[in-house]
Amino acid sequence: MKGILKKTALLLFNSLFLMGQATADTELVAGSAAPELNLKDQNFKTHKLADYKGQWLVIYFYPKDDTPGCTTEACQFRDDILQIRALNASILGISLDDVKSHEEFANKYSLPFPLLADTRGDVAQAYGALFKLGPIKFSRRHSFIIGPDGLIKKIYRDVDPEKHSQQIINDLKLLAQ
């Protein structure tokens, strides 16, 4: 019975998810200037896009701290962080969770990269990653590789949390050539 209820709840969630709206100010494409960000991380440090000028930047949006898919994705990036840094790249995770939630999540899983609190969803909206269904809103699982010049080089709108980190590494290797 539990299995049936769980499957029903998952189907209901997926149906609502598909009915919700992703919003963006403009449709981003590879070659677009990356939208600005000005957000605090789990240590209350402010991060701006300009802080990463001259290096590769991976921005990944995710729905919620400490949920199964989000934990898998974050831990994959954690485990691959040395490979990412070796490619002159930094990584930023962004969700609508607050700084305190990010602090707990980062500490629980020893995440060695900033998690940014986009509590109003402005940055997620600028990147087309904001999901809204009535009063419910969160980030969709979307990622972006931003080049040292501040332009978007690659956009991922369909992300598999288990394989995404390696996909990012492979694409960074190709883009950095």
The rounded distance, in Å, linking the Cα atoms of 24 and 93 is: 19
Q: Tell me which DSSP letter residue 34 carries.
A: P
Question: Within 10 Å of residue 94's Cβ, how many Cβ atoms?
Answer: 27
Q: What does 45-91 look like in DSSP terms, one character per residue?
A: -EEEGGGGTTSEEEEEE-S-TTSHHHHHHHHHHHHTHHHHHHTTEEE
Question: Within 10 Å of residue 85's Cβ, how many Cβ atoms?
Answer: 14
CA 27 to chain centre: 17
> 141: helix, coil or strand?
coil
Beta bridge partners of 105: none
Given the residues 34, 37, 58, 70, select the one marked as catalytic.
70
Specify whether the CB–CB gap between 136 and 64 falls below 8 A.
Answer: no
Beta bridge partners of 95: 117
75 catalytic? Reply is no
Which residues belong to the active site?
70
